[in-house]
Structure 1
Amino acid sequence: MIRFENLTKSYRVDGERKVVIDNLNAVLPTGTSLALLGRNGAGKSTLLQLIAGTILPDSGRIVSDGTISWPVGFAGSFHPELTGAQNVRFIARIYGVETDELVAFVEGFAEIGKHFHMPVRSYSAGMRSRLAFGTSMGIRFDTYLVDEVTAVGDQQFRRKSRAVFAERMKTSSAILVTHNMPEVREFCNAGMVLEGGRIVYFTDLDAAIAYHRELMDG
């Protein structure tokens, strides 16, 4: 269960306050993989970061009774002067997982070769994304937050990413942000649409997609 209580988040844009999440109250049930839909700029990525705790709300709070990943594929928490391996070891200690096991999984999954033992500042954006995705998938969370991550890499890597994510979904749930509707139907069984800082929740995924398309066409 993830519960939003009077959640508000805004930014200063050109000297004006833009409210992205507006006094949001909602409960997301346990064991449901949700598609988070909305137009570009609606605040989907912001909401994921609020749930993950990587940014703080202006007011209100988020309550959960399970473990939640950081946004999968988000590489902003890596220390640029540390190697990929050192970053993974640090994360393993933070989350209390077996260090060598996580390092071995990420090194094999990310397929970045010798760069795994080089400073992250030397990585391309694609390498950072591979490292971040592998690290996320290497830790078992109750809920994974996913922001367009299966689009990372070449076709073979995307296939591998989808396979490991599908495996995780057998025992975990997810909140998935993507514009890829076949992917939404593959991984999600309910949906919510973010519009004007508020969420409309649908237990019927098709109804969520239809409402989203109606807003996009309006």
Structure 2
Amino acid sequence: MFSELDPSSSGVVVSETASARPVLTFRNFSLRCDPSDPAISFKNVWNWSLLEGKKTVVITTNSFLKYQLVSALAGLVSPISGQILVDGVVGWPVGGEGGLDSKLRISHALNFLVAVYGDCLEKSLVSMDEFWDLLAQIEIHPGLIIRDLSLPQKDYFFLALSVLFSFDLYLIPNTKFLMSKFASPLRPILLKQLGAKTLISTSVNKSFQREFCSDGLVLGALGEVLYAGGLVDAIQWADQNLGKSNSSDSDDEQFGTGLNLLNLDSSDDGMDDFV
């Protein structure tokens, strides 16, 4: 799962010298760990790499740390120290709005993202015809304006956009809608796109973890890498040492940053009809 750069301070307990290329490399990396005190950051800086093809769920009792990590990987939050070196294209958080204005028509929104991520569309395993067919199934057509969609339609549209492009690294902080019945046509598409690509998720949804993840990374409250390994072993280690999680889908963090990356119009109200 990991390739260590500096074993003296990272705290990584599982390391590999696999031939797979590093997708992410953390160098002297540290994040803020407490929303009420900006002076509280990692106990030990990170110096390790995440290898290509690993699909990792981050397990920690510190919800703010999960938010900070995804924000940093998405380029929205600067680290306290160090840097992240990325070999490839990092997608916006899956299900997020991708910076789109709600006043755009569906076709114009797609054209904008194609202009930005054209290379990722060329590598996609999903055709444009397949994409439009998926939208048509729930009455989403090119000429509609995003803000005029119903809440379930908006969530479906933004999720469909997220899985249309072939990224080297997918970020998935929130899986409540992804794992709902309403979004079931999109899950096989995401699995197909992931293939040998890399995934980092902070979701607590056990069904999602079993279906999409292969590895687990257990972090302490101050960013300590407590355990890294296979998914089942990581979950078991976390349950035994951090306390068995009683979290449910509704506990997944809302990834709202003020930068319009998530459909903040969506709420749990009305969502239960589609779960």
Partner of 2:251: none
Aligned-pair CA distance for 1:115:
6.3
How far apart are 1:37 and its partner, in Å? 1.6
The structure-2 alpha-carbon separation of the partners of 1:114 and 1:72, relative to structure 1 and needing over 3 Å to count, comes to: closer
Q: Distance in 1 between matches of 2:102 and 2:215?
A: 37
Kindly indicate whether the alpha-carbon contact (under 8 Å) linking 1:150 and 1:158 is maintained by their aligned counterparts in 2: no
Matched, 1:140 2:166: yes
Aligned residue runs from structure 1 range 12-27, under 5 A = 13=35, 16-17=37-38, 19=40, 23-27=45-49
Give the TM-score, by structure 1 length.
0.81
Q: CA deviation at 1:92?
A: 0.8
- Is 1:128 aligned with 2:154? yes
Q: Percent identity?
A: 23
**Structure possessing the higher radius of gyration over alpha carbons:** 2
Structure-2-length-normalised TM-score: 0.66
Please, what is the CA RMSD of the aligned residues?
A: 3.0
The structure that is strand-richer by fraction is 1
Alpha-carbon distance in 2 for matches of 1:67, 1:93: 15
Partner of 1:89: 111
How many Å separate the matches in 2 of 1:18 and 1:132? 36
CA-to-aligned-CA distance 1:36-94 (integer Å, 9 cap, x gap): 22226242232122112133324321112122211101126111221232122101101
> In the TM superposition, what is the alpha-carbon distance from 1:139 to its structure 2 partner?
0.6
Q: Report what 1:196 is aligned to.
A: 221
* SS, match of residue 197 in structure 1: coil
Conserved in 2, the CA contact under 8 Å of 1:85 and 1:103?
no
| 2:32 equivalent to 1:5 | no
1:211 maps onto 2:211 in alignment = no
Question: Is 1:43–1:194's contact at 8 Å kept on the other side of the alignment?
Answer: no
Q: Tell me if the contact between 1:35 and 1:190 (Cα under 8 Å) persists in the aligned partners.
A: yes
> Number of aligned pairs?
215
Give me the whole-angstrom Cα distance separating, in 2, the residues matched to 1:167 and 1:43. Answer: 29
Give the C-alpha shift of residue 203 in structure 1: 2.3
- Equivalent in the alignment of 2:210: 185
More helix by share: 1
Match for 1:163 among 188, 192, 195? 188
Where 2:234 maps in the other structure, the secondary structure is: helix
Select between 135-144 and 146-155 the one with higher mean Cα deviation: 146-155
Farther-moved stretch of structure 1 (22-31 vs 205-214): 22-31
What secondary structure does 2:166 align onto?
coil
The structure-2 alpha-carbon separation of the partners of 1:85 and 1:102, relative to structure 1 and needing over 3 Å to count, comes to farther
Amino acid at match of 2:166: R
Q: Which of 23, 35, 40 is the aligned partner of 2:57?
A: 35
For the residue of structure 1 that corresponds to 2:211, the secondary structure is: helix
SS in 1 for 2:92: strand
**Cα separation, 2, equivalents of 1:54 and 1:115:** 31
Which stretch of structure 1 is more off in the superposition, 86-95 or 36-45? 36-45
Shift of 1:13: 4.6
Unmatched 5+ residue regions in structure 1? none
Alpha carbons 1:5, 1:60 under 8 Å: kept: yes
